Amino acid sequence: MSTSGAMPAKWSAKQVGRIKPLVFLIALYPVLRWVWLGFSGGLGANPPEFLIRSSGIWALVALCLTLAITPLRRLIQQPAVVRLRRMLGLFAFFYTVLHLLGWALWERGWSLASMWDDVVQRTFITVGMVAFVPMVALAVTSTQGWMRRLGRYWQTLHRSVYVIAGLSVWHFWLVRAGKNDFFEPYAYGVVLVVLLLFRLVYVVRQRGAHGRQ
Amino acid sequence: APLPATPNPEYWLSSRQTSEKDITSYNNFYEFGTGKTDPMRHAGAMQTRPWTVAIEGEVAKPRTFDIDDLLKLASLEERIYRLRCVEAWSMVIPWSGYSLATLLKQVEPTSKAKYVEFVTAVQPEAMPGLNDRIIDWPYVEGLRIDEAMHPLTMLVFGVYGKMLPNQNGAPVRMAIPWKYGFKSGKSIVKIRLRETMPVTSWVGIAPNEYGFYANVNPAVPHPRWSQATERRIGDGFFAPRVDTLMYNGYADQVASLYAGMDLAKNY
C-alpha cells in the first residue's frame, strides 16, 4: 500500500505493456481508413493527392502524440507510460515514410534526378527532407540495443525530435503558404509549443526544488 | 437540367473525357471553401436566378444582360477542352457555350478597351468561404483584349449537356483552355472593359507565384512545384503523370498572341 494517500497506485511496466496492442491498433486507424475509403470510392477525384496529404497529417499527429507522452506521464504521475513512446515514435516514422514514398511515386515518378531537383529547388521540400534525415537516425537507434550502446548520448541524440517537429510544422506551413490557409499548421505549431513549454516549466521547477534544498 | 448544345468538331479534343462525377466533385471555388469538395457541399445554396451580367467600361453600348438572354444570344456549342490547373492536374471537359467574342461584339468595345475584367458573384449568405479572407473578394480575373476576343475563349453555361452545377460556376463562367484554370472566372456577374491591366485576384495575393498571363508553360515552374508534368484526374493509382504541353496543347492557335514576349517574365 502506498503511504501517500492521494497518490495513485503506480502502473507497472507490464501493465502498460498490456495496452500496447490496443494502442498499436488505434495507431493503424489511418491505414484502415484509407483502405476503407479506397474500396468505397471515398478517396475523391485525386487519390494520390489525398494519400500524400493524409499521410503527412498523420505523421504530424503521431509526432505530437509521441511528444505528449512525457507531459502526460508527469501529469498523471505514471512514469511507466513511457513504454508507449517508442511505438508512437515509430508510427510517426512509418507515416512519414509513406508520405515520402507517395511523393516519390506520384509526384516524381520514382525518378531520382527529379526528386533531387525538387529537394534542391523548393524550400518546402528541402525543409521536409531535412526533417526526415534525423528521423531515420532516431528510428534506427530506437532499439534497446542502441540505447545501451549509446548510453547517455542516446538522450542527447533523441532530443533532436524537437528539431524534427519544428521543421515538420515549418514544412506544413510552407505547403499552405500558397493558399494563405494557415489554420492547421498554426494549430500544430501551438500544440508543439505547449508541449515544449510543459517541459520547460518542469525543468525550471526541478531546478527551483533543488535550489531550496 | 438538360442544356442542348451542338458539338463543334473544330474544338474537339479526342482524349478520354473526365467523368462527370470527378468534374463536379473536385473543384477550386474558394467562395465555398478551400477544400476540393467544399464547393460540391456548399454551392447548392447559391442563388442563380434571377441573374444578370453587367457589361461596362470602355464600350459603346454598355448593357446588363439577363442570364436567359445570354443563353439565347447564340446557339450553344459543345466543345471538349482540356483544363490544366496551376496545381499540376488536368481534366478533359465537354463544355457548352459560345465564344466570348460573340458577346463582346454586342457591346462594341472602344479603342481604349485594352483589357477585360471578369468579376465573380459575392453572396455572403451562401458562401462560407468569404469569411476566410484569403482573397480580397470579389474574385477578379482578366484577359488582354486580343485574348478575350480569341475564338477559343469561351463563355460557358453547361457541362456534359446539362446546365452548369453551381460548384462549376453556374450560371455562367469562362473557359480559357491555354491558361491555367484559375484564369477562368466562375459565376460571373460583371464584365468590365478597361484601358489598364486589372490586378487579378491571385496576382494580388502572390505576385511571385501567379502572373497575369498564366499561360500553361511546362518550362516555367511554379515556385513550389514543377509544371513539366500533370496528373490526369481519373487515370487511377498507377498511371504515370503525363507531360504538360506548351499552351496546354493549343500552341497552334494562340502562340502568335505572345510573339516576342519573354514568357519567363510574363508568367
Instruction: Note the pLDDT tens digit of each residue in A1-30.
Output: 444 556 678 999 899 999 999 999 999 999
Q: What contacts A153, CB < 8 A, 6 or more positions away?
A: none
Of the partner residues A44, A47, A118, the one whose CB lies closest to the CB of residue B237: A47
Report CB contact under 8 Å: B206, A178.
yes
**Chain A contact present for B226, CB below 8 A:** yes
What is the predicted pLDDT for the residue at B237?
A: 84
pTM for the model stands at: 0.90
What is the C-alpha separation between A191 and A195, in angstroms, rounded? 6
Band the pLDDT of A211: cuts 50, 70, 90: low
Q: Do B231 and A117 touch (CB under 8 A)?
A: no
Residue ranges, chain B, pLDDT below 50: none
Measured CA to CA in angstroms, residue A153 lies from A156, A159, B7 at distances of: 5, 10, 72
- Average pLDDT over all residues of chain B: 96
Is A47 buried (19+), middle (13-18) or exposed (0-12) by CB count in 10 A? buried
Contact A48 B223 (CB under 8 A): no
**Chain B residues with CB inside 8 Å of A37's CB?**
none
Mean local confidence (pLDDT), A40-57: 94
The cell 457541399 sits on which residue? B41
Question: Is the ipTM beyond the 0.90 threshold?
Answer: no
Q: Is position B85 annotated in a ligand binding site?
A: yes
- Establish if B50 touches chain A: CB-CB under 8 angstroms: no
For A175, half-sphere exposure in the C-beta direction (CA atoms, 13 angstrom radius) is 19
**Mean pLDDT (chain A, rounded):** 92
- Residue B52 carries which DSSP code? E
Task: Write the residue in B26, B132, B229 that is nearest to A46 by C-beta.
Answer: B26
Question: Nearest by CB to B34, which of A49, A118, A181?
Answer: A181
